[in-house]
Chain A
Amino acid sequence: EPEVTQTPSHQVTQMGQEVILRCVPISNHLYFYWYRQILGQKVEFLVSFYNNEISEKSEIFDDQFSVERPDGSNFTLKIRSTKLEDSAMYFCASSPGRMQETQYFGPGTRLLVL
């Protein structure tokens, strides 16, 4: 059964460093998302991506964040200068369509900023 994959599973970085989180969505899906979950809290939407451009972003997704689909399979989230409060689990998700379509989540990348 096809699934969303994410790498790395864990990343530890120093405050101010850049990190790139990688995702491979399900191959025939068209919509891609990033969410984050701070430890013990609810899952929060960051950004959605369709047709090689951002379709929506939340207030959390400021200028320090960017997304890219560099080739036909990968979908990346970059944080340019990490802050302590960026420590969270980051989930990538994909769906075949937009409305009424289930979003399938990857296993997550646990990011720790020291």
Chain B
Amino acid sequence: AQKITQTQPGMFVQEKEAVTLDCTYDTSDPSYGLFWYKQPSSGEMIFLIYQGSYDQQNATEGRYSLNFQKARKSANLVISASQLGDSAMYFCAMREIGANSKLTFGKGITLSVRP
């Protein structure tokens, strides 16, 4: 089974609107971390936000927030007030306690922001 699933083929959002990018994960470890990275067309991987499995509150970082639903094993990224510069590929990733710290990535979601 895939560890990280990102099934949305491509997302479009109007500038200044909010958008949710979906991510579901699969693990039997009680302790894990979930991460979102942004990859613009230039290719670099930019860290956006982190959620720990034991965190009581959903993570927020500026315009980014993580809708963490542990029972459903989902960790959706919400981007508020979309900007043109948000157009990029977005990757969800997980680190499990038994995985010696490596990140396992989903296949990514392309987000296009329309003016």
Report A's interface with B, CB cutoff 8 A. Answer: 31, 33, 35, 41-45, 48, 55-56, 58, 89, 91, 93, 95, 98-108, 110
Is B100 a contact of A55 with CB atoms below 8 Å?
yes
Is A55 a contact of B101 with CB atoms below 8 Å?
yes
Minimum CB–CB distance from B18 to chain A (whole Å) comes to 24
- What are 16 A-to-B residue pairs whose CB atoms are below 8 Å? A42-B106, A42-B108, A43-B45, A48-B100, A56-B99, A56-B102, A95-B101, A100-B52, A100-B95, A102-B47, A103-B35, A103-B103, A105-B46, A107-B42, A108-B44, A110-B43
Minimum CB–CB distance from A48 to chain B (whole Å) comes to 6
Closest to A95 in B: B101
Most B CB within 10 A of own CB, among A45, A58, A108 = A45
Closest to B104 in A: A45
Closest to B93 in A: A43
